[in-house]
Each structure stands twice: as structure tokens, then as C-alpha cells.
Amino acid sequence: MSDGLEQKSSPTKGFVALIDVLGFTNLVNRDSGGERIERYLSCLEQATKNCNVDSVVFSDSIILSVGGSGPEPLSRLVRACSHLMWDLLIEGIPLKGAIAAGSFIRRESSGSVFIAGKAIIEAYHYEQIQNWIGIVLAPSVIEQVPEIKSLCSMRDLPNDFSKLGEFFAESEWSARVQRFQTIPFKEESSDLSASYDGLAVIPIGRYGNFGEIANAIQRAIERLEWLRMIAPSPAAQRKYDKPIALLNGLTYYWLRVARWAQEIKD
């Protein structure tokens, strides 16, 4: 019996996303019938459906985790975060979070879930010191998967139709993760400046073509701009400036790719 317990509690190496649901108190206070909470939970269910990503929810905190190493499990977690971020933006619910790599223990017992470990501590640290609306990849992720920097780079358009499928498959990374050199962090962070050069998750739901990627980004920008307008203070409004700038910078590229794909098909 002791061997079984030790095996269950052995640390898993993988990736963890810790996400804070902003404005959760107002969401609950204004949701007398529970409809918005149901949509919130439905968004989480849809984002993690069929991607083999584990989830734990406690009030305004979401923890997503996946075991394994390399780009493949990380891709599944990034896809879930990207999808969740977009779906909740459409519902008017902004997120702030971080993805970290490392060891963690996840244990289910009698209907409860216990999860802890180095990866969660790092994800929590980077979630706390951000000063915007967004999800970043902590340095441990880049250390564990150094090829991610090239995987998520914008690719030159191929010259012929035969390469369209390959280009579409390779674009999964660049559609969902991008480098952003001015991610805002809190001034009081002792180990980071107010601006951070890192990788950020792009909010996009499921898509079937390049036009849908461009449309999803434009829709996310619209929702961020609306949330900025109703934010309660100038400081709260400023948290939306950088994510809007990041997505605006991507819009032209994906519109160009969508036009090219249509032209090459025609």
C-alpha cells in the first residue's frame, strides 16, 4: 500500500498554467441566476475538451496542467489557454496568467484535487507581477523548449498551393504564441524592469482557415477595447493598452495571409 501511495504522489514533469479570472467578484455579485457562472464553466470545459489537459478551478483561479516534455504537450496547453482566453473575452471576462515548466504533483482523492510544485510557484510568481491582460510563458518554458522561439515566428508565404497545408499546420504555433518585447510588469517587481521581453499567448478559439484567425484577433481587439472603456479607473484602463497593441500588430499579417491563401486557391 505504501508503494502505491508513493507512486501516486511522485512528481510529474510537465507544464502548468495558473490563470486569474479578473473581475470575478463583480461577475458573481451581478449573476443572481448563475447564468454567467455557467457560461464561465462551459468555456473552460470547451477549451480543455479533447486536448488531454487537466484542470482545477477554485473561484477566480484556474490551474491547467499537462505532463510530458517538448513541444507537443506544451502545444496542447497553449491551445487550451488561447481558446479559453478568447472565449472568456467574448463573455466580457478578462484573464491574467502564466505558463511555467517543471515538476508538480497532482493528486485526486475523494472528489478533491491537490496540486502543488515548483512549476506552479513560478507560474504564480509571473502571474502576480504582470500588469496587463494576458498570459505569458515563464522563462522555464523557453529553457525546456528552446525551439519555441522559432516555432512561433512569423513565416514567409510559400510560392505554390502544394505547400498550403504544411504552412497551415506550422502556423498553429505562430497563431497562438508571439514574442512581445514590451509586456508590462509592475514597477515594484524586484527582479524585473517594468517592461519584459517575452512570449505571450494570443487569444484565438478554434479555427479552420487563415481568415478565421484574422477575424478572431479582430474580435478579441473589439472586446478588449470595450472592456477598457468600462474599466473603473485610468490604471485599470491602462492594463488593456499593451494587449490591444500586440493584437493590432498581428492583424495585418493574418489578413495578408488570408488574402494570399484565397488568391492561391483561386
Mean pLDDT of 133-156: 94
The string of DSSP letters for 85-144 reads HHHHHHTT--EEEEEEEEEEEEEEETTEEEEESHHHHHHHHHHHHB-SSEEEE-HHHHHH
Cell 486557391 -> residue: 265
pLDDT bin (cut points 50, 70, 90) of residue 31 is low
How many whole angstroms from its chain centre is CA 80?
7
Say whether pLDDT at 4 is over 50.
Answer: no
Say whether pLDDT at 60 is over 90.
Answer: no
The radius of gyration computed from the CA coordinates of the chain, to the nearest angstrom, equals: 19
Task: Say what the pTM is.
Answer: 0.90
Q: Which spans in the chain are helix H?
A: 2-8, 24-29, 35-48, 71-90, 118-129, 139-144, 148-151, 164-176, 210-230, 234-238, 241-265
Mean pLDDT of 211-230: 95
Q: What average pLDDT does the structure give for the chain? A: 88
Query: How many whole angstroms separate alpha carbon 223 and alpha carbon 90?
Result: 6
Say whether pLDDT at 264 is over 60.
Answer: yes
SS3 57: strand
Contact 58, 113 (CB under 8 A): no
- What are the cell numbers at 99? 505558463
Query: How many whole angstroms separate alpha carbon 206 and alpha carbon 227?
Result: 22
Query: How many whole angstroms separate alpha carbon 260 and alpha carbon 93?
Result: 34
**pLDDT tens track for 170-219:** 899 999 999 999 999 886 655 555 678 899 999 999 899 999 999 999 99
**CB neighbour list of residue 122: distance below 8 Å, 6 or more residues apart:** 98, 100, 102, 138, 140
Say whether pLDDT at 86 is over 70.
Answer: yes
User: Can you give the pLDDT at residue 24?
Assistant: 72
Mean pLDDT of 33-57: 86
Contact 247, 221 (CB under 8 A): yes
User: Can you give the pLDDT at residue 115?
Assistant: 84
